[in-house]
Structure 1
Amino acid sequence: MTTPSGHTEAIAASRVIGTSVYNTEGKSIGSIEDVMLDKMSNGIMFAVIGFGGFLGMGEKYHAIPWATLDYDEDKGGYVVPFTKEQLQAAPAYSIEELTGADGEAARDASFQYYHVKPYWH
Structure 2
Amino acid sequence: MEQVHTTSSLIGAAKVDGTAVYNTQGDRLGDIHDVMIDKQTGRVAYAIMSFGGFLGIGEKYHPLPWNTLKYDTNQGGYVVGLTLEQLEGGPTYDEGSEPAWGDRDYEKKVHDYYGMPPYWMM
TM-score scaled by length of structure 1 = 0.79
Other-structure match for 1:84: 84
How many residue pairs get matched? 113
Counterpart in 1 of 2:12? 12
Question: What is the SS of the residue equivalent to 2:120?
Answer: coil
Q: Distance in 2 between matches of 1:31 and 1:9?
A: 20
Distance 1:49 1:80, change over 3 A: same
Question: Does structure 1 retain, via aligned residues, the 8 Å contact 2:53–2:59?
Answer: no
Query: How far has the Cα of 1:103 moved from its partner?
Result: 6.3
**Structure 1 runs not aligned, ≥5 long:** 1-6
Decide whether the 8 Å contact of 2:37 with 2:43 is kept in 1: yes
Shift of 1:52: 3.0
User: Is residue 31 from structure 1 mapped to residue 22 from structure 2 by the alignment?
Assistant: no
C-alpha change, 1:106 and 1:10, in structure 2 (3 Å) is farther
Partner in structure 1 of residue 45 of structure 2: 45
Higher strand share goes to which structure?
Answer: 2
Distance 1:108 1:20, change over 3 A: same
Deviations 1:38-95 (A, max 9, x none): 10222112000001338xx923200001111111112111100111221121111124
Query: Percent same amino acid among aligned pairs?
Result: 43
Question: Partner letter of residue 11 of structure 2?
Answer: I
Higher helix share: 1
CA RMSD of aligned residues (A): 2.4
Q: Is the 8 A contact 1:47 1:65 kept in 2?
A: yes
Runs of 4+ more than 4 Å apart: 103-106
**Do the aligned partners of 1:63 and 1:98 also contact (CA within 8 Å) in 2?**
no
DSSP 3-state at the match of 1:53: coil
Say whether 1:58 aligns with 2:58. Answer: yes
Once the two structures are overlaid, the 10-residue window that deviates more, 106-115 or 21-30, is 106-115
